[in-house]
């Protein structure tokens, strides 16, 4: 009976595609290229890859382990495993983080909807880079328009969740993710045909080790957590729907590889275009919204390239919003003791998300300045709070939870029938989760809060 109240994925590949779909998102296509651009290109890429292997993969495994053992949402999983309520706050921590991420994530998804519409109607024809920059400001500050554009993906996401795990999430991921790959390959081919694309590739793949600073490492780690969707229980939720015989080691590696592949492909699409047309890779968050439309106009097949790119961005964003909102929906069912069914939970979660998104959008306008915190709008505050504090702390506590407080016999990585090398990884994983992952996250958090220097100073005396 208990098993029935929670959804199940029907196949192993369904889990990997849904989790990879959640991982692959704006973080890969919108954020990764501009962050890499600002942090030294190839140098950043190397640090990023190391972070994925050392911290990303163990944390993906951690969340899958917790979810599958507990068969509960982020809200109930820690209690179910520990058998007491001491870990309840971590469940709430995950839920609050999920809503905060959705607050700003849906805004950017809304921008994507707007840009797709404009690409289809050819609205940026004739605008140069300055014009497009101005256009971005105009669009993002026209409140009613942005709100309408945000409501579209919110409704689409809720509609998918309405149909449940197998008929909604799994079915859609199986269609959208392969489609995303095909479109990315088409874009890569298109970009490599541009004269002078080599310069961008060199920027992205050539490593100047002198550019690796503590700041770069911090940014790479934050980006790795965000991109792999770890630290807020999104993968706990999917882990709860995972078939019992699934191999967690292989699935986690597959998710990490697919996610990293898309980030690298996004770099391969964006940097050659940026360099070939003489733009600056350090353009920041506007990189894909300003530079790319400018570049598309100078290419043959301009209309098609623009439309294709923004469809790609939207698909990536939607599979991620689905995974984010599922954290909220599953937790609502759980927290209400299943008094709320899936449909009621979807409606309630959608309502809360709408309020968060509207607040975020309003705080970006001058009229609603009182909605800012220390002079920064809610969009920036949510983004910063979650990526620099809440996700790392969530990840830190989950790694301690599994490393120290979960009996190791409960850590099932590989089904008993498969005795491969992957089965021997358990002690390595536990060691990483006890020491390497938490200590590194702690150092980075302290450094981020400016406390590390103070501590070092203290020890010197």
Can you give the binding site for ligand TRP, defined by CB under 6 A?
22-23, 25-28, 101, 226-227, 229, 232, 234, 320, 323-324
CB 177 within 8 A of CB 19: no
CB 43 within 8 A of CB 215: no
Residue 348, C-beta contacts closer than 8 angstroms, at least 6 positions apart: 332, 340
Nearer to ligand TRP, 109 or 140 (CB): 109
DSSP classification of residue 373: B
Using the structure block, give the residue that is written with the tokens 């504090």.
389
φ, ψ (nearest 5 deg) of residue 69: -70, -45
Closest approach of ligand TRP to the CB of residue 30, in Å:
8
Closest approach of ligand TRP to the CB of residue 311, in Å:
16
Helix (H) or strand (E) holding 67: helix 57-70
Nearer to ligand TRP, 70 or 256 (CB): 256
Closest approach of ligand TRP to the CB of residue 55, in Å:
14
Nearer to ligand TRP, 29 or 276 (CB): 29
Closest approach of ligand TRP to the CB of residue 34, in Å:
13
Enumerate the β-bridge partners of residue 373: 376
42-51 vs 214-228: helix axis angle to the nearest 10? 60
Closest approach of ligand TRP to the CB of residue 183, in Å:
17
Closest approach of ligand TRP to the CB of residue 324, in Å:
4
Please tell me the distance from the alpha carbon of residue 78 to that of residue 67, in angstroms, as a whole number.
Answer: 9
Please tell me the distance from the alpha carbon of residue 326 to that of residue 73, in angstroms, as a whole number.
Answer: 9
Structure tokens belonging to residue 81: 């495993």
Nearer to ligand TRP, 39 or 323 (CB): 323
Nearer to ligand TRP, 307 or 318 (CB): 318
Nearer to ligand TRP, 47 or 95 (CB): 95
- How far is C-alpha 445 from the chain's CA centre? 19
Residue sitting closest to ligand TRP (CB): 27
Nearer to ligand TRP, 260 or 297 (CB): 260
φ, ψ (nearest 5 deg) of residue 28: -80, -45
Helix (H) or strand (E) holding 458: helix 452-460
Q: Which of 388, 115, 459 is nearest to 226 (CA)?
A: 388
Closest approach of ligand TRP to the CB of residue 105, in Å:
7
Nearer to ligand TRP, 157 or 246 (CB): 157
Closest approach of ligand TRP to the CB of residue 198, in Å:
28
Residue 360, C-beta contacts closer than 8 angstroms, at least 6 positions apart: 103, 104, 107, 377, 378, 379, 382
Q: How many CB atoms lie within 10 A of CB 247?
A: 18
Nearer to ligand TRP, 52 or 129 (CB): 52
Closest approach of ligand TRP to the CB of residue 109, in Å:
10
């Amino acid at each position: 009976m208990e098993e029935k109240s929670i959804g199940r994925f029907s196949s192993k590949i369904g889990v990997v595609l849904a989790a990879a779909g959640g991982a692959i998102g704006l973080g890969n296509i919108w954020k990764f290229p501009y962050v890499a651009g600002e942090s030294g290109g190839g140098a950043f890429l190397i640090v990023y890859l190391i972070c994925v292997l050392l911290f990303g993969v163990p944390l993906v495994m951690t969340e899958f382990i917790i979810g599958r053992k507990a068969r509960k949402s982020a809200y109930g999983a820690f209690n179910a495993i520990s058998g007491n309520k001491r870990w309840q706050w971590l469940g709430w921590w995950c839920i609050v983080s999920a809503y905060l991420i959705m607050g700003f994530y849906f805004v950017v998804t809304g921008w994507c909807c707007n840009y797709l519409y404009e690409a289809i109607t050819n609205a940026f024809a004739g605008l140069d880079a300055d014009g497009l920059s101005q256009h971005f400001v105009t669009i993002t500050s026209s409140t009613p328009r942005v709100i309408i554009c945000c409501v579209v993906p919110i409704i689409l996401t809720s509609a998918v969740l309405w149909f449940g795990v197998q008929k909604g999430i799994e079915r859609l991921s199986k269609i959208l993710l392969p489609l995303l790959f095909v479109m990315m390959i088409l874009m890569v081919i298109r970009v490599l045909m541009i004269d002078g694309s080599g310069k961008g590739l060199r920027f992205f793949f050539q490593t100047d080790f002198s550019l690796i600073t503590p700041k770069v490492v911090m940014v790479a780690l934050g980006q790795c957590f965000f991109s792999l969707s770890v630290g807020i229980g999104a993968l706990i939720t999917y882990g709860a729907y995972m078939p019992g015989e699934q191999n967690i080691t292989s699935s986690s590696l597959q998710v990490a590889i697919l996610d990293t592949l898309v980030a690298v492909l996004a770099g391969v699409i964006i940097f050659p275009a940026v360099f070939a047309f003489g733009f600056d890779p350090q353009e920041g968050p506007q990189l894909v919204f300003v530079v790319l439309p400018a570049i598309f106009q100078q290419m043959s097949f301009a209309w098609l390239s623009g439309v294709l790119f923004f469809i790609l961005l939207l698909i990536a964003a939607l599979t991620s919003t689905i995974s984010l909102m599922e954290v909220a929906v599953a937790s609502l069912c759980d927290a209400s003791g299943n008094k709320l069914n899936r449909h009621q939970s979807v409606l309630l979660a959608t309502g809360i998300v709408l309020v968060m998104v509207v607040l975020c959008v309003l705080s970006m306008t001058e009229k609603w300045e009182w909605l800012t915190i220390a002079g920064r709008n809610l969009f920036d505050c949510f983004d910063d709070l979650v990526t620099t504090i809440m996700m790392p702390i969530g990840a830190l506590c989950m790694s301690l939870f599994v490393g120290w407080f979960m009996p190791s016999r409960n850590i099932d990585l590989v089904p008993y029938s498969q005795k491969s090398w992957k089965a021997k990884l358990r002690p390595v994983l536990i060691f990483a989760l006890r020491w390497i992952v938490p200590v590194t996250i702690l150092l980075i958090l302290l450094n981020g809060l400016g406390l590390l220097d103070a501590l070092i100073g203290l020890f010197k005396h």
